[in-house]
Amino acid sequence: SSGARSPVEQLPSAVRAAHILVVDDEPSIAQCTAEMLELAGFTVEVETDSLKAEARLRETPYDIDMLITD
């Protein structure tokens, strides 16, 4: 092995435990995105229902630092 790092290992580590909400109606894509972000050190929530995600953001908007959606 040449010691090359995988693309996930090359992601920058989270400076702090940012909380990210991943919203995608395709569960496998949402989960894959969440796993990559968790490996980089982020706290991640996954939602596959856009109406539930909207309700989640309205309930406690300041708990989420970033929203990733398709």
Cα 67 to chain centroid distance, Å, stands at 8
Give the pLDDT confidence of 30-48 residue by residue, as tens digits. 999 999 999 988 999 999 9
Closest CA to 33 of 43, 22, 25, 20: 22
Give the pLDDT confidence of 50-61 residue by residue, as tens digits. 999 999 999 998
Cα 11 to chain centroid distance, Å, stands at 13
Closest CA to 42 of 16, 63, 62: 16
The pTM for the full model equals 0.76
